[in-house]
Structure 1
Amino acid sequence: MCKILSDFKSKFKTDELKIFETEYWLWSLRPHQATLGAGILSLKRECTSLGQLMQEEFTDLNNIIKVIEATNKQLFSYDIMNYLMLMMIDKQVHYHVIPRYEKEIKIFGDVWKDSSWPGVPNLAGDAIDMNKLKKISSYVKDNLKGV
C-alpha cells in the first residue's frame, strides 16, 4: 500500500470503523463525530485528485451514496447531508460525510446537537471513545439500507 493511502487509513481508522464498502469506495465512521453519524467516504486505491477517477469509480460513488443516505436517514433522520471534499492535509480522495440536524437527538446514552446548524459544520467534532465509536459503527453496519 502506498504511503498516502496508508497514512490516511491510519489517521481516520477506516479499517476499525468501516461500515460498508463497494468495489471502489469505503464508508467509515469519522473518529471525531462532527455530528451523529459523521463519516468518511474514501476511494480504496491511492488517488490524489478527483480528476483522476475512472468512470466506473464515479458510477460506484453513486451506488454507495445511496446506501449512506438511506441508512443515515432511516437511523438518525438527518435534515440535510453535507459532503465536503477538502484534501488540504489528507491528499487521498475522500469526502467528509456530515449529516446535519436542526434538532438534537438522544441516542446511545448521549444528547447529540449540531451546534453550528444551519451554518458550516464544525469538522473538529468531539473526540469519542473508541468503544463508543465501534458501538455506533456496528449499529449503522447492522442496519444498512439500500444494499
Structure 2
Amino acid sequence: MNDTIKKFGYPATLVKGYHHWVVLLRPAQVTLGSLVVAAKSDATDFGDLSDDHFAELKSVTADVSSALQALVSHKKLNWLMLMMVDPHVHFHLIPRYEGAREWMGQDFEDKAWPGPPALGDAVKLSDDQISGMATWIKSSFPD
C-alpha cells in the first residue's frame, strides 16, 4: 500500500478492498459516512492509472453509492480529488444531506449544505469509533 493509503489509517480504516482500489473510512468525518477511495498505485496523476483501474472504478463507485444510500440516505455524493498534501491518486468521498444524521448517539451535521463541504469542520473519530464505524459501513457493501 502506498503512503497515502497508510496515512488514512490502513488497515484499521479498511472498509472494502478491490484489486486496484481500497475504500477507507475517513478518520475525520466531514459528514456521516465520509470515505477515502484510493488507488493501489504509486501514481500521482489520475491520468497515469491503468485502464484496469478505470474499469474497476465503475464497480467501486456503484458499491459506495449503494452502501452509503442505505446507511446515510444522502442527497448527493461529493467526490473530491485534491491530492495536494497526500500525493497518490485518491478521492475524498463526502455524503451530502440537509441537516444531521445520528450514529451511536453522536450527530453528524452537514454544516455547509447545500454549498461546498466544510472540510475544516470534520469530526475526528477515536480509535474505537473508527473501528465501529468501519464495521458499520462494511455491513452495507456487497461481498
Distance 2:6 2:66 in 1: 27
Distance 2:133 2:32 in 1: 9
Identity of aligned residues (%): 30
Distance 1:122 1:15 in 2: 26
1:111 maps to which residue?
Answer: 107
TM-score w.r.t. the length of structure 1 is: 0.91
Distance 1:87 1:112 in 2: 25
1:77 maps to which residue?
Answer: 73
How big is the shift at 1:107?
2.2
Q: What amino acid is the match of 1:26?
A: V
**What are the within-5 Å matches in structure 2 for residues 25-36 of structure 1?**
25-36=21-32
1:141 maps to which residue?
Answer: 138
Kept in 1: contact 2:79–2:91 (CA 8 A): yes
**Aligned with residue 131 of structure 1, among 124, 128, 131:** 128
For residue 37 of structure 1, give the secondary structure of its aligned residue in structure 2: coil
Gaps of 5+ in 2: none
1:19 maps to which residue?
Answer: 15
For residue 56 of structure 2, give the secondary structure of its aligned residue in structure 1: helix
Q: What amino acid is the match of 2:118?
A: N
How big is the shift at 1:139?
0.7
Kept in 2: contact 1:19–1:28 (CA 8 A): yes
